[in-house]
Structure 1
């Protein structure tokens, strides 16, 4: 390889930095367990930000260089800002990641009974291999707005004493004809992703009750949370893996967990800005977005105008006045790291990668000049000058890095939020770590790569 800083776990690093890297990984594992949904991750981020002295920008009339502030958008976006010494119109340094992850959502009318079992119907979110979600323990996370207008946050399945849920698969003895000829994507079909939730009937004597087990489940929800069946319509319930983040390997060098795409970048970028002590020259912004896994749509996705909203508010409170040209100048002069993961090459499945341009675990953060599919469709293709700036930044700070593409040219592909940042004129490039088993319920990262990602974002905030 041609890069001087990506040679993995060197003897020097093991002897001098292993303890620091492993300690950093513990904080990352902890927030993965506490923030399994975008709402939960944002809530954890707010707590950490306030502990570090960040103030809610919406409550302030004036913001000055050195101030540390945050913005929250509908509980699903978090923006952390450290105001720099330079004029805000000269641009800011954005690190933008997403904190939504593939999962199983409940439908608006999910609960039913059949064969004396209670199930809930679902609709999966994001790109998943559906068969991976069958026959594993799942926990229920979400919020519900009750008929009264009261908001309830619900988590079932994370405490050791909690029950869990599951999607039963078909036993191999009977699956030969029914599933045997299905393509991989349809071994389990979307409508077959149904959650088993109970089997004991109610003993309330009422001739109007036709489904005794379904009614018993509704009784439990009503007793615990005040829910009625209609409240499912005004709820956001997500089924996620019930297991916790774990060390992988006899050497504990890797992390296995749900939601590392892209909370690995969410955590490292958030930690990097929270740890800023000296006022940077350029304003540093960490933006945790939502809805990337479904196209960045909606009012909390990158295709909304929320980036314009909070940047405009920031400009007006720093300068004391505002005009549209101020916002355009600031954005056009800004730089960004679209912080998202790449695919680490698996020795078992080498054929889908082009090895010379594939990312590898333990080789540091991955610089991805372009993503997209086929003929670079649906991507931001960073210009050579900006790629050089990032390359020089990483080399100067002795950060382990590598380049990477998302598979062979016609093998598949994927996208990030980079192109939505670039449309404002923000110079943007994808920079994030590589994962094995991306989008699976249990993704794999390297502790070394996690730490080098944190260091890269630290350096960028001070660029």
Structure 2
């Protein structure tokens, strides 16, 4: 416990259940995952330790029962094919996403103004701009070299978006803060002239390479502050990237928990996609063919025909896990007046009549069964009619595969902030319900 980035209060440490070890492990997972590529690397490491075999998409895959995973850039799909699996054996799938809103490094990124050295960054997804101000941030992600190799790098604390002092903006607290992303969101990295610094060379040096060897990169910014339990009675948990590493971690924990089961009536799958925050329409996003390709190859290993695969999909389920909204005490009018989820009251069942979430009545019943089997309470979330509803990978997966899909997740405050907030009980509760979903009694 003392080596963890989480420092639970005595009240938390003395509580019953699995929330403390789960939170410690979630905190470690988040800190190991500053980018989608790092999250996939951490998941792959944990799967390998648990006896899963890594498969390359370009190679022939085994036809034996077993535990496997495949990586595509910032996405990963892992699965367990049980003994006795047949061509029409259905799938039980947990889906999540590895990316979070923030900022991505631009080409020719080293810039400067008035003696300051700065970095050129581009908005990624829909971050809350003001939450990124005055924080010690790092760059993290993937470098691609001219010899075809890649490397994961992270800088540690390296950049900061400095806010204008109140003395120079006297109306900021009364008139509000307005940020032009091109003008005001250029982080500082030091002082000097452009001849004094080269961000790409610095990143390459972290991998033991020269900057001249870098021919491409996928680098994002991320907050460096450690996750933390806090609040009265130690009931709250703050961390970056809870949207959606809380779901990635819970899904991974659930898959590993059922990995020792000798037999199953289904093929259990965990899929974590990239690029959900920007629409999922990429080769490693949920709108791409990655999961469909993997499921087809799993089916081929059992000798499944196209008809067999359709029969298997007809009996399959997908649990789309992504964080949702807790009722905000300072803005209650933004929420549905009746359905008002709170943290530490259980994970959410996310519902939208216009199918921004994939949940239907049968899906709601399946989630109720999973939570009941796990002994977990859950809450329903629906948007205020005057506030547009976001979406998830759920409708994308349901439409692409035709597999019945349910949307769930933990409740957050400050979603898309550099640092989000949830309850200490909910991440472990989500994982328990997911485990019951993957291995129904």
The alpha carbon displacement at 1:250 in A equals: 4.2
1:408 corresponds to = 384
Do residues 127 (structure 1) and 126 (structure 2) align? yes
**Secondary structure of the structure 2 residue equivalent to 1:346:** coil
The alpha carbon displacement at 1:148 in A equals: 4.6
**CA–CA distance in 1 between the matches of 2:409 and 2:291?**
21
2:6 corresponds to = none
**Secondary structure of the structure 2 residue equivalent to 1:388:** helix
The 1:19–1:325 alpha-carbon spacing in structure 2 relative to 1, beyond 3 Å, is closer
**Secondary structure of the structure 2 residue equivalent to 1:128:** coil
Question: Among 283, 288, 296, which residue is 1:299 paired with?
Answer: 283
**CA–CA distance in 1 between the matches of 2:116 and 2:344?**
46
**CA–CA distance in 2 between the matches of 1:291 and 1:220?**
26
Is the 1:141–1:154 contact (alpha carbons within 8 Å) kept by the matching residues of 2? Answer: yes
2:29 corresponds to = 31
Question: Among 183, 187, 191, which residue is 1:195 paired with?
Answer: 187
Is the 1:116–1:213 contact (alpha carbons within 8 Å) kept by the matching residues of 2? Answer: no
Question: Among 273, 281, 303, which residue is 2:255 paired with?
Answer: 273
**CA–CA distance in 2 between the matches of 1:78 and 1:378?**
26
**CA–CA distance in 2 between the matches of 1:316 and 1:237?**
36
**CA–CA distance in 2 between the matches of 1:132 and 1:15?**
30
The alpha carbon displacement at 1:182 in A equals: 7.5
Question: Among 451, 459, 463, which residue is 2:428 paired with?
Answer: 451
**CA–CA distance in 1 between the matches of 2:238 and 2:12?**
21
1:81 corresponds to = 79
Alignment gaps of 5+ in structure 2: 1-10
The 1:182–1:333 alpha-carbon spacing in structure 2 relative to 1, beyond 3 Å, is farther
**CA–CA distance in 1 between the matches of 2:203 and 2:268?**
44
Do residues 252 (structure 1) and 246 (structure 2) align? no
The 1:265–1:257 alpha-carbon spacing in structure 2 relative to 1, beyond 3 Å, is same
**CA–CA distance in 2 between the matches of 1:419 and 1:238?**
27
The 1:301–1:183 alpha-carbon spacing in structure 2 relative to 1, beyond 3 Å, is farther
1:164 corresponds to = 158
After superposition, residues 232-247 of structure 1 pair within 5 angstroms as 234-247=216-229
**CA–CA distance in 2 between the matches of 1:327 and 1:227?**
49
Is the 2:139–2:155 contact (alpha carbons within 8 Å) kept by the matching residues of 1? Answer: yes
Q: How many residues align?
A: 423
**Secondary structure of the structure 2 residue equivalent to 1:413:** coil
**CA–CA distance in 2 between the matches of 1:175 and 1:51?**
54
**Secondary structure of the structure 1 residue equivalent to 2:376:** coil
Q: Deviations over 1:108-158 (max 9, x none)?
A: 12112321221111111111121221211101112222345443332111x
Question: Among 243, 248, 273, which residue is 1:261 paired with?
Answer: 243
Is the 2:38–2:152 contact (alpha carbons within 8 Å) kept by the matching residues of 1? Answer: no
1:137 corresponds to = 136
The 1:137–1:332 alpha-carbon spacing in structure 2 relative to 1, beyond 3 Å, is same
The 1:14–1:212 alpha-carbon spacing in structure 2 relative to 1, beyond 3 Å, is closer
After superposition, residues 216-365 of structure 1 pair within 5 angstroms as 225-228=208-211, 231=214, 234-276=216-258, 277-278=260-261, 279-317=263-301, 319=302, 321-365=303-347
After superposition, residues 143-182 of structure 1 pair within 5 angstroms as 143-157=142-156, 163-176=157-170
The 1:82–1:220 alpha-carbon spacing in structure 2 relative to 1, beyond 3 Å, is closer
**Secondary structure of the structure 1 residue equivalent to 2:118:** strand
Q: Deviations over 1:321-345 (max 9, x none)?
A: 3543333333233111111111011
The 1:121–1:398 alpha-carbon spacing in structure 2 relative to 1, beyond 3 Å, is same
After superposition, residues 386-405 of structure 1 pair within 5 angstroms as 386-405=363-382
Is the 1:113–1:214 contact (alpha carbons within 8 Å) kept by the matching residues of 2? Answer: no
The 1:438–1:61 alpha-carbon spacing in structure 2 relative to 1, beyond 3 Å, is closer
**Secondary structure of the structure 1 residue equivalent to 2:330:** helix
Structure label with greater radius of gyration: 1
